[in-house]
Amino acid sequence: MGKATKIINKVFTAWNYDKEEDFLFNQSLNGWELIRGGCFYSKYNRNNEKVFKYKVDFNPLGKDFNKKRLYVDIFEDQGWEYINSTFNGWHYFKKEYRPELPEEEYDVYTDRTSLIEMRNRWVKISRVIQIAMLLFSICFLIIATNGHNKGMLINALLYSFGNLLLLFGISKMRLEDEEVSQTRKIINILSLIISIAVIVGCIMIILFYLYKS
pLDDT digit string, tens, across residues 65-115: 888 999 999 999 999 999 999 999 999 999 999 999 988 889 888 778 888
User: Rounded distance, CA 39 to CA 91, Å?
Assistant: 11
Distances (CA, A) of 93 to 18, 52, 157: 13, 10, 38
Residues 28-45 have pLDDT tens digits of 999 999 999 998 899 999
Q: What pLDDT is stored for residue 207 in this prediction?
A: 80
Res. 1: pLDDT tops 60:
no
pLDDT at 187: 81
Averaging pLDDT over each range in 17-26, 131-140, 202-211, which range is the top one?
A: 17-26
CA 91 – CA 38 distance, rounded (Å): 9
CA gyration radius for the chain?
22
- Ramachandran class of 55: left when φ > 0, alpha when ψ lies in -120 to 50, beta otherwise: beta
pLDDT, residue 19, reads 95
Over residues 139-145, the mean pLDDT reads 87
The single-letter code of the amino acid at 191 is S
Percent residues over pLDDT 90 in the chain: 49
Classify strands 90-96 and 5-8 as parallel, antiparallel or unpaired.
unpaired
Give the strand order in the sheet containing 52-58. 52-58, 90-96, 81-85
- Taking the C-alpha atoms of residue 204 and residue 192, their distance in angstroms, rounded to an integer, is 18
The model's pTM: 0.86
pLDDT at 14: 93
Assign 3-state DSSP to the chain and report helix, strand, coil percentages, each to 5.
60, 15, 25
Burial class (CB in 10 A: 0-12, 13-18, 19+), 56: buried
pLDDT at 177: 58
- Strands (DSSP E) contained in the chain are 5-8, 32-36, 42-46, 52-58, 81-85, 90-96
pLDDT, tens only, 175-202: 765 676 777 788 888 888 988 998 888 8
Looking at residue 16, what is its pLDDT? 94
